[in-house]
Amino acid sequence: MDSEPTNKKLQKVKQNKGGPHSKLRRRARLSAVQALYQMDISGNASKAVIFEFLNHRFGHEEEVGYVAADEAFFEDIVKGVIEFQDEVDAEITLHLSENWKLSRLDKTLRALLRAGCYEILRRPDVPAPVILDQYVSISADFFDVKQAGFVNGALDKIAKKIRKAEFSLQGSAKPFAPSSGG
C-alpha cells in the first residue's frame, strides 16, 4: 500500500495552517477591532469607518503601507457587531463579574470581545477554537497576559455556552489506564 498520497495530503494540511487565508482573516479581525474602537471613540458611523478602511487602509499592492486583508470578512464583522450589538453586548455582560459593566471595560478590550462574540454567535462557519485563538492572539498585541487571559476566559465561556457541540467531544474520553494483567 502506497502512503505517498496520504503524506502529501498531510503536508498540504500543515502548509495551509496559518497560510495565506488564515493571515488575511487575522488581519481582517485586527482591522475590525481597530474599526470598532475608532467608531467607539469618534462616534463615526460604521459605513464611514468601513469605507475608510476599504479605500485607504487596505489599499492596493503598489501603495506604501499596503495591508492585505479579507475585506469581505472585515466588513461582515464590523456590520455584524453593529447589527447584533444588543445580543452581543448582552452575551458579554452575562460573563462579566457582578461588579463590572461593559461600559467600564477599556474600549479596545470591549471591541475585541464584541468582535469575538459576534463571530461565536453569528459565524458558525468559523470553528469556535479558531475564533478563541485568533482573538486571544490579537489581544496580546494590545495588552499584557492578564487582559489576554480575560479575553480568553470570557470568549471561552461564551463559546462553550453557544457552541456546546464543538466542545462536547473534548474531555469526554476517560484517561487510559493500562491493565494490570499479564
Q: Which domains occur in the chain, in start order?
A: 21-165 (1.10.940.10)
Residue 102: other Cβ atoms inside 10 A: 15
- Report residue 20's pLDDT band, with 50, 70 and 90 as the boundaries: confident
Look-up: residue for cell 462616534?
43
Distance in angstroms (rounded) separating the CA atoms of residues 120 and 165 = 13
Distance in angstroms (rounded) separating the CA atoms of residues 89 and 99 = 16
Distance in angstroms (rounded) separating the CA atoms of residues 27 and 77 = 12
| CB-count burial class (<10 Å; 0-12, 13-18, 19+) for 126 | middle
For 69-120, the pLDDT digits (tens) are 999 999 999 999 999 999 999 999 999 888 889 999 999 999 999 999 999 9
| b/e sequence 22-40, b meaning 16+ C-beta within 10 Å | eebbbbbbbbbbbbbbbbe
Q: Mean per-residue pLDDT for 161-176?
A: 69
pTM (2 d.p.): 0.80
pLDDT score of 6 more than 50: no
- Report residue 168's pLDDT band, with 50, 70 and 90 as the boundaries: confident
Residue 134 · residue 29 · CB < 8 Å: yes
Distance in angstroms (rounded) separating the CA atoms of residues 65 and 51 = 17
Look-up: residue for cell 495588552?
143
